[in-house]
Every structure is written in C-alpha cells, then in structure tokens.
Amino acid sequence: MVEVKNLTKYYGNIKAVDDISFTVETGEILGFLGPNGAGKSTTMNMITGYLSSTSGTVTIDGSEILDDPKKAKSKIGYLPEIPPLYIEMTVRKYLEFMFDLKKVKLPKKEHIEEVMRLVHISEQSERIIKHLSKGYRQRVGFAQALLGNPPVIILDEPTVGLDPKQIIEIRNLIKSLGKKHTVIFSSHVLSEVSEICDRIIVISEGKIAADAKTDELSTQVLGNQKLAVQIEGNSSDIIAAIKKIPAVVRVIKTGEQNDAGKYMIEYDKDSNIRRDVFNAMVRINCAILDMQSGNETLEDLFLRLTSGTVKSSAGGK
C-alpha cells in the first residue's frame, strides 16, 4: 500500500533522512519510533507530499507522490504534529471546509456526523476551535484526517499532550482503524507503540536502526535470549552444570544475595532452556530461588538502538 524507496532528505548540508526504505501492507499498523529530531516528522512529511525528497520515491497504492500528487494525496489522511486547524472556525465549518478541500465524494452531512461521532466531538461541533482544549483540538485534527475514509492514515505523534484517558481513547481508535486502513504513526513513547503496532521501525539519526514485528524486535535485534536466575549453592558447580545445556551460549555470575548467586544465562533465541536449567539444578541438588526473562525491555533496547551501541541485524526488511 505504501512503498518508500531510498528516501533521502537534506536540509542544506544536514542529512535529515538517510536512505530509508520500507513497505507497509494494507491493514498493517506501523509504529515509527525514534527520539526527537531523528527524522520521523521529516519522513512523514515526505510521505504525505508536504516536503519533497532530495532523492528516493514514495508510492501510495501505485501512485507516486511527486509524479501524480493529486491521486496519491487523495488516498492519505494526515494528522501532522501540530494539527492544521483554522482556529477562528467552528468544528463543523472546519470539517466542511476540509471535506470540500479533499474533494470527498461521500454524502457530506452524514459523513461529517459519522467522523465526529467516531472521535467523540459531536457535542463540540458548534464551538469555535480557538476555545477548545488541546485534547479536543487533537481530535478535530484526527477527524479531518479521517474525512473521506482514506486507505492510508498517517499520524504524527497523535497522543502528545493528551491526558491518560484521552490517550487510551486515541489508542483504541488507532487500533480499530488498523482493521480497515493502513496506519503509520510516530511516537517516542515505547509502551504506546508496542501496544498498538504490528510492526515497529526505529529511526535514529535519519537511518532505520531496526525494522521488525513488535514481539520479535528484541530477539531479532539482540540475537540471543537471556535468562536471569538466582540459585543456591556452589558457583563453579552451577556454572559447569548450566554450560552443559546445548543451547546455552554464555553464563555469567552477576552478583550474590543471601548466599544465593545471581546468574545471567545467554542462550540461543530459538530454544527454551528453562526446563533444562531446572533439571540440571535438581541433579546437582541446588535450589532455584528465582527465574525470570533477562531480555532487555523495549526501553533499554530503544536507548541502545538510538545511541548506536547495537547495530541491528533486523534492519531493512
């Protein structure tokens, strides 16, 4: 549905986006993750045709954004980081204007009502946008992106500045949109991206640092899985016993607490060694006091990816 190929953007001499390529299929929710200034907004602005790329192409459902802009743009609903609202208009008048601007062919009144219902702003329809709170303004921006039911919806940090209840509502809305539309949305909040998205692209310094399915991201990027255990008994015996398990790559003792040693076991990502560890410890008569996944959380991973300490093995899908 959306195909981005070798997209590059220079601002003067500064390379803001560096040779980014990816494809998003229909019905997929793609999360765009990266610290501030990583190139998320620039990339989205290029996908929507607001900015032109220095080189590379963006194709929306077969139409190239620079060669056939009208057709390509008519397939995109875009909510920029700052919602493009004419604050002196009422919500309804604004949506009517956007409806006409986008040349939507649906019945006007019914469609606007439906969109307002979807984002819960029907009660605010006659209010002037200037007088609305940040949360409501964000929803009006959301509503204009949904006008005409475009197949591709692009949202640039849609939950910034909202209260927790509104964030949950917007997240649910994005999830429900993902059933029918292709959604690309950016955020620097990891929990949000991992909760909503099927797939995550991590951008750092204008480059794709990782591109993977949400649940596979950590294993793909890190290569091996980790297990953190706490075991009572002689350290050298325990380490020797664990090393005998075929899938184990490495064992290190990380500390000691109440006569029980703490160990970090690194093992092959395709296997599951918890039962083997248990059996091995039973054989040498050492009690396992604690066992948990030692995989890094997405937060740790994100920090490492964007600070450049990990080179992704999953980049460039």
Partner 1 sequence: MSAILKRELSSYFNSAIAYVVFAAYFFFSGLFFHTYCVLFNSTSLSYVYADMMMIILFIVPIITMKTFADEKYQKTDQALLTSPVSLFQIVMGKYMGAFVMYAMCSCIFLLYAIVISFFAVPEWSVIICTFIGLLLFGAALVAIDIFISSLTESTIVAAIVSMAVNLVIYMMTSFANIISIDWISWIIEKINFATYYDAFKYGLLNITDIVFFLSVAGLFIFFTVRVLEKRRWS
Choices 66-74, 109-117, 202-210, 231-239; region in contact with partner 1 by CB under 8 A: 66-74
**Binding track over 186-215 against partner 1, x by CB under 8 A:** ------------------------------
- Residue 278 binds partner 1 (CB under 8 A): no
Least spacing, CB of residue 97 vs partner 1, in Å: 5
Q: How many CB atoms lie within 10 A of CB 11?
A: 11
Residue 6, C-beta contacts closer than 8 angstroms, at least 6 positions apart: 19, 20, 21, 55, 56, 57
Q: Which one, 109 or 213, has the nearer CB to partner 1?
A: 109
Residue 195: other Cβ atoms inside 10 A: 14
* Least distance from partner 1 to the Cβ atom of residue 100, Å: 3
Q: Does 247 bind partner 1 (CB under 8 A)?
A: no
Report the C-alpha dihedral over residues 133, 138, 141, 142, rounded to 10 degrees. -140
User: In this complex, which beta carbon is closest to partner 1, that of residue 72 or of residue 200?
Assistant: 72
**Minimum CB distance to partner 1 smaller for 103 or for 179:** 103
Task: Name the residue nearer to partner 1 (CB basis): 10 or 233.
Answer: 10
Minimum CB separation of residue 41 from partner 1 in Å reads 11
Closer to partner 1 at the Cβ: 145 or 280? 145
Residue 66 CB, nearest approach to partner 1 (Å) = 10
Alpha-carbon torsion angle 139, 140, 143, 147, nearest 10: -170
Binding to partner 1 by CB under 8 A, coded x per residue (else -) over 40-59, reads: -----x--xxxxx-------
Q: Which of residues 69-108 bind partner 1 (CB under 8 A)?
A: 69-71, 73-74, 76, 78, 80, 82, 84-89, 93, 97-98, 100-103
Structure tokens at 140: 């009006």
Residues 131-160, interacting with partner 1 (CB under 8 A):
144
How far is Cα 132 from Cα 142, in angstroms, rounded to an integer?
A: 14
Q: Which is nearer to partner 1, 74 or 306 (CB)?
A: 74
Which CB, 46 or 260, lies closer to partner 1?
A: 46
Parallel, antiparallel, or unpaired: how do β-strands 152-156 and 182-187 relate? parallel
CB atoms within 10 A of CB 92: 18
DSSP secondary structure string for all residues of 79-101: E-SS----TTSBHHHHHHHHHHH
Quick one: 81 or 276, whose CB is closer to partner 1? 81
* E strand spans, the chain: 2-11, 14-24, 29-33, 55-60, 63-64, 76-79, 152-156, 182-187, 199-204, 207-213, 224-232, 248-257, 260-268, 288-293
Q: Does an H or E element contain 222, and which?
A: helix 217-222
CB of 54 to partner 1, least distance (A): 8
With respect to partner 1, which residue has the nearer C-beta, 125 or 295?
A: 125
- Count of residues in contact with partner 1, rule CB under 8 A: 30
At residue 173, φ and ψ (nearest 5 deg) are -65, -45
Of the CA atoms within 13 Å of residue 312, those in its CB half-sphere come to: 25
CB of 184 to partner 1, least distance (A): 14
| Strand ranges for 175-247 from DSSP E | 182-187, 199-204, 207-213, 224-232
Site of interaction with partner 1 (CB under 8 A): 11, 45, 48-52, 69-71, 73-74, 76, 78, 80, 82, 84-89, 93, 97-98, 100-103, 144
